[in-house]
Amino acid sequence: MLSDSINEEKKGVKMINRVKLGTLSLLMFAAIALALVCSSTTAYAQPPITILATSTNLSPSSSTVNVAQSFNVTVMVADVTNLYAWQAKLFFDPSVVQCASAVYPSDQVFAGKTTVPLTPQINNVTGFVLFGCSLQGDAATFTGTGKLCTFTFVGQGVGTSALNFSKPYGVDTYLLDFDLIEISATMADGSATVVPEFPSTILAITFIAMLSIAAVAYRKTVKR
């Protein structure tokens, strides 16, 4: 009968809709699971930390990394005039991060000029790094905004560490002009956060489990 055919057709349409819904649900579960897997292994770095000469600061001002992951913090000088020498001392929590190195970037403020470099002092027990540089002789001073140095840190333990310049300004952290007179400056501190890293095996198991749940939900939808 015609009515029976119509009913059967409606049932078929309902079944198709259920299959589509189940497929959509499966894809959504898979997408969510994949997003969780990706997000749990991602480390985020913010802009550098800078020291201000007219202002000095760190770039990025804050960073978020995993345990054992390395990250760079660049000491910047902004709007400085007649810079001839500088020194920066940065304190950190050694139970959270450790300093691995201190270097002059290739595009540092004194690049291409004759300088008197300093050997960095790194203390991962107390938690500080001291570094600096000076021009030599009648070398042209630097005016403007640029990089002083780059510190490389490694995540040591879960937590947040302040990255603070030594205070008061002018003792261990300072900027000097050609006459070796202190340049007035403002300092901007930073921070670093270390988060736990999930083992890849746990992430894989979690991903498979979520896919299995999605598959079960899909089968139940088709049977109805």
The pLDDT of residue 59:
74
The pLDDT of residue 67:
87
pTM: 0.68
CATH, domain range 44-195: 2.60.40.680
The pLDDT of residue 58:
73
Q: What pLDDT tens digit does each residue of the chain (224 aa) get?
A: 544 444 454 444 444 455 444 544 544 554 444 444 444 433 334 444 554 445 667 777 777 888 889 999 999 999 999 999 999 999 999 999 999 999 999 999 999 999 999 999 999 999 999 999 999 999 999 999 999 999 999 999 999 999 999 999 999 999 999 999 999 999 999 999 999 876 554 555 655 666 666 555 556 555 55
Secondary structure of the chain as H, E, C letters: CHHHHHHHHHHHHHHHHHHHHHHHHHHHHHHHHHHHHHHHCCCEECCCEEEECCEEEEECCEEEEECCCEEEEEEEEEEEEEEEEEEEEEECCCCCEEEEEEECCCCECCCCCCEEECCCEEECCCCEEEEEEEECCCCCCEEEEEEEEEEEEEECCCEEEEEEECCCCCCCCEEEECCCCECCCCECCEEEEEECCCCHHHHHHHHHHHHHHHHHHHHHHHHC
